[in-house]
Amino acid sequence: MYKVIRNTKYDYIGQSYSSSYPNLHKYPATMLPQIGIDVLKELNISDGRLLDPYCGSGSSFASGLECGIKEMYGCDINPLAVLLSRVKFTKISTDKLLETRKVFRDNLYDFIKNECNVETLPRPQITNIDFWFSKEVADNLTMIKYFIDNIKDSDIKSFFLLPFSETVRECSYYSRKI
């Protein structure tokens, strides 16, 4: 039998993920990185390798990085979790990112000048797409996704895909109903 010890230090009352780290995308059951940091410190772990086989949004990596661990591996059954963790912990040149954003915007603005253009784009094969999106929203998302897909650098492309994923959810009928 183990004795149960209540340590209020681990309540983390009033703290949330976003109180210490930028919240790039909603993810369910996110661990507070502060918990991982305290546990690693308590165990005197400040180097070595970290494996999180259920990495979710990557909170354990934030804890590891904060405590000095440089080599980290993770996997998750959910591709969104893999994208989220990858984007959070991949270094990208700010100049390259800003340049890509400029090209992306310019191309998109040019494209929407002719409203027939959208009809030339391949449509995503989604069953019951009309249940989730209005025609106008589906058209706009199709155009944005087309220009994201044209980004050559895979790290920058992933960086753009993350807010796109949040946007898709936010502008679906599902989000407007709840």
Ligand X SMILES: C[S@@+](CC[C@H](N)C(=O)[O-])C[C@H]1O[C@@H](n2cnc3c(N)ncnc32)[C@H](O)[C@@H]1O
Positions that interact with ligand X (CB under 6 A)? 27, 29-31, 54, 56-57, 59-60, 75-78, 81
CA atoms within 13 A on the CB side of 164: 20
User: Smallest distance, Å, CB 83 to ligand X?
Assistant: 12
User: Smallest distance, Å, CB 38 to ligand X?
Assistant: 14
User: CB-based burial of residue 27 (10 Å sphere; 0-12 exposed, 13-18 middle, 19+ buried)?
Assistant: middle
- 32 Cα distance to chain centroid: 16
| Residue closer to ligand X, measured from CB, 57 or 100 | 57
Contact 15, 28 (CB under 8 A): no
Closest residue to ligand X, based on beta-carbon distance: 56
| Residue closer to ligand X, measured from CB, 54 or 174 | 54
| Residue closer to ligand X, measured from CB, 14 or 79 | 79
CA-CA distance, 176 to 124, in Å (whole number)?
22
User: Smallest distance, Å, CB 163 to ligand X?
Assistant: 18
User: Smallest distance, Å, CB 90 to ligand X?
Assistant: 17
User: Smallest distance, Å, CB 27 to ligand X?
Assistant: 6
Q: CA torsion, points 15, 17, 23, 29, in degrees to nearest 10? A: -130
| Residue closer to ligand X, measured from CB, 23 or 150 | 23
| Residue closer to ligand X, measured from CB, 59 or 158 | 59
Query: SS3 of 71, please?
Result: strand
| Residue closer to ligand X, measured from CB, 65 or 81 | 81
| Closest among 69, 54, 65 to 88, alpha carbons compared | 65
User: Smallest distance, Å, CB 6 to ligand X?
Assistant: 23
Angle, helices 154-170/79-88, rounded to nearest 10 degrees: 120
